[in-house]
Amino acid sequence: MGRIIGIDLGTTNSCVSLIEGNDPVVIANSEGDRTTPSMVAFTSKGERHVGKHAKRQAAVNPERTIYGVKRLIGHRFKDDAVTEYCKNLPFHVIENTNGDAWVDIDGQGMSPQEISAMIVGKLKESAETYCGDKVDQCVVAVPAYFNDAQRQATRDACRLAGLKVLRIMNEPTLAALAFGYKSNVEGKTSNIVVFDLGGGTFDVSVLECRCGTFRVLATAGNNHLGGNDFDDAIFEYLVKQFKEENNIDITSDKMAVQRVREAAETLKCELSTMSESSVNLPFLAIGETGPVHMMQSVERSELETLVKPLVDKLEAPCHDALEQAGLDKNSIDDVLLVGGMTRMPCVQATVERIFGKKPSHNINPDEAVALGAAVQAGVLDGEVSEVVLLDVTPLNLGIKTKGDRVSTIIERNSSIPTKASKVFATTQDDQTYVDITIVQGDSEIASQCTRLGEVKLTGIPPMPAGHARVLVEFSIDASGVVGVCVVDKQTGTRETKNIENAMGLSNDEIVAANSRLR
């Protein structure tokens, strides 16, 4: 059996690590970097680049340089979040035959799972080079707020890369594990908040750590709030200023768009340490009198005004998580910052204001999740024994009922693994089957939640409405993955469904992806 690696498959950057002796270590990639940009590029010559090399050529090959697929994975093309994300993308996102969001490269549709598999493949290769041995199993991290479909799709991505996924774990939980792994074994009980703002997602979790047991009390967040949104706000500002000054709209020039987008991100990062910085993009467009350059200096305070609506969105999930955990801010001992975006001073100030204490800088925000995943890998293969992780499910899980409502069976923030059931009655006379639609989400309106799949139970004996009773039982395993069983209470007929098959790639799609990945 090969080694088990811990993978942080980030929206912007990814990282891999494993347990060496008793300590988790980050593995550098073939370029010597400890994190790898989550980018894949396809060149006109048919070559494929992953990571830094893909990022380097993005400005000259914008339509074939794919990034941020974590914001598409496990999503329907028509989801509002996808429409919103695709607004400014230089590459094409299309609807595949199942209605899922895929990317299009020169007319060839590719699933976000396949693109992610290329990134995971590079991490796997780095680990194999480091170990001098085969690596075929992993623990993979996902945002705490990922639903079942997104978890399944992430698992498919690792499978396509040749890795068996032993556990899917929540990113903030793993960060807390990396932070407390050594220090908490003998220690007192402490309450930790993990504030995780990455390139595409925002999660906040509250954990109780006691003698090596890490129990998640509550988690909340926003799957569609991250650094990319900040970059978009800066991008729009720069484009607008340029238009006002030069009367040129660059948004139809894909290469110019990509250059400004990169400059926006760089500016954002520079303004984390400097109070003023500038964008200098020579020859960005051609005007009536010749080439026009973008030269714009921006102060940190201007940036902070620009992104204030986004920063404000961070507040509600923090209060929600504290409330769900049954704690107030005075009982929090440590606040950990995870994700590159937490380097922004206004984000740190917001965290400090909300929780009433300075966040801890003891962990590396880019590496903590992967390190935690390696510790969990160590737990699973027996190398680490003194740690127990108890996580929760982030979203309500239930079925669609009359009037587009949701009847919740497993409440959000229930500890996992868990199982729960409810009995439902038929609504029509002589009803011989029931169609159950499984939904997961925050809303009480079924159509606003994610539809995970359907189960049909047939063979119900004809009876007056309300007499036949059907038991719906849901289970959620330690990876947050959902199973469902529907039983006719009279006859004992049952239908068990692994939701895995309902949303994932078809066999044909897996074969096609495998042949391309080879």
CA dist 195 and 141 (Å) reads: 15
CA–CA distance from 226 to each of 63, 233, 436, 480 (Å)? 22, 11, 34, 23
Query: Min. distance of Cβ 197 from ligand AMP in angstroms?
Result: 8
Query: Min. distance of Cβ 2 from ligand AMP in angstroms?
Result: 27
For position 51 contacting ligand AMP by CB under 6 A, the verdict is: no
**Residues within window 147-206 making contact with ligand AMP, judged by CB under 6 A:** 198-199
Which one of residues 5, 6, 9, 13 is an interface residue with ligand AMP (CB under 6 A)? 13
Interface with ligand AMP: number of residues (CB under 6 A): 17
Query: Min. distance of Cβ 20 from ligand AMP in angstroms?
Result: 23
- Judged by beta carbon, residue 265 or residue 495, the one nearer ligand AMP is 265
Question: Which among 41-49, 139-147, 262-270, 478-486 is the span making contact with ligand AMP, rule CB under 6 A?
Answer: 262-270
Q: Are 471 and 421 in contact (CB under 8 A)?
A: yes
CA dist 195 and 363 (Å) reads: 12
Query: Min. distance of Cβ 208 from ligand AMP in angstroms?
Result: 25
For position 143 contacting ligand AMP by CB under 6 A, the verdict is: no
124 SS3 class: helix
CA dist 112 and 66 (Å) reads: 10
| Catalytic residue check, 404 | no
Which one of residues 81, 94, 131, 269 is an interface residue with ligand AMP (CB under 6 A)? 269
If you ran DSSP here, which 8-state letter would residue 151 be given? H
If you ran DSSP here, which 8-state letter would residue 357 be given? S
| Catalytic residue check, 171 | yes
Q: Are 29 and 122 in contact (CB under 8 A)?
A: yes
For position 11 contacting ligand AMP by CB under 6 A, the verdict is: yes
- Judged by beta carbon, residue 75 or residue 76, the one nearer ligand AMP is 75
- Judged by beta carbon, residue 302 or residue 477, the one nearer ligand AMP is 302
What are the start-end ranges of the H helices in 198-299? Answer: 227-246, 254-270
Active-site residue identified among 100, 148, 196, 203? 196
CA dist 518 and 509 (Å) reads: 14
- Residue where the block lists tokens 């965290």: 351
- Judged by beta carbon, residue 266 or residue 514, the one nearer ligand AMP is 266
CA dist 518 and 181 (Å) reads: 38
| Catalytic residue check, 357 | no
Residue 80 host element (H or E)? helix 80-86
261 closest CA partner among 294, 238, 286, 285: 238
CA dist 22 and 42 (Å) reads: 40
Query: Min. distance of Cβ 311 from ligand AMP in angstroms?
Result: 12
Query: Min. distance of Cβ 33 from ligand AMP in angstroms?
Result: 12
Active-site residue identified among 148, 171, 208, 262? 171
114 closest CA partner among 64, 57, 159: 159
- Judged by beta carbon, residue 230 or residue 474, the one nearer ligand AMP is 230
**Residues within window 328-387 making contact with ligand AMP, judged by CB under 6 A:** 339-341, 343-344, 366
CA dist 294 and 283 (Å) reads: 8
Question: Which among 51-59, 82-90, 92-100, 261-269 is the span making contact with ligand AMP, rule CB under 6 A?
Answer: 261-269
- Judged by beta carbon, residue 340 or residue 372, the one nearer ligand AMP is 340
DSSP string across 55-77: HHTGGGSGGGEEE-GGGTTT-BT
Q: What are phi and psi of 493, to 5 degrees?
A: -60, 135
CA–CA distance from 75 to each of 155, 352, 405, 438 (Å)? 14, 34, 21, 16
| Catalytic residue check, 383 | no
Query: Min. distance of Cβ 57 from ligand AMP in angstroms?
Result: 19
CA–CA distance from 245 to each of 16, 214, 268, 294, 401 (Å)? 45, 55, 22, 10, 55
State the angle between helix axes of 227-246 and 254-270 in degrees (0 to 180), rounded to the nearest 10: 120
- Judged by beta carbon, residue 259 or residue 400, the one nearer ligand AMP is 259
Query: Min. distance of Cβ 383 from ligand AMP in angstroms?
Result: 27
Q: Which residue is nearest to ligand AMP (CB)?
A: 227
Q: How many CA atoms lie within 13 A of 124 on its CB side?
A: 24
- Judged by beta carbon, residue 269 or residue 390, the one nearer ligand AMP is 269
Which one of residues 227, 359, 372, 441 is an interface residue with ligand AMP (CB under 6 A)? 227
Query: Min. distance of Cβ 272 from ligand AMP in angstroms?
Result: 3
42 closest CA partner among 100, 110, 88, 133: 110
Active site residues: 8, 70, 171, 196
For ligand AMP, the binding residues (CB under 6 A) are 10-13, 198-199, 227, 265, 268-269, 272, 339-341, 343-344, 366
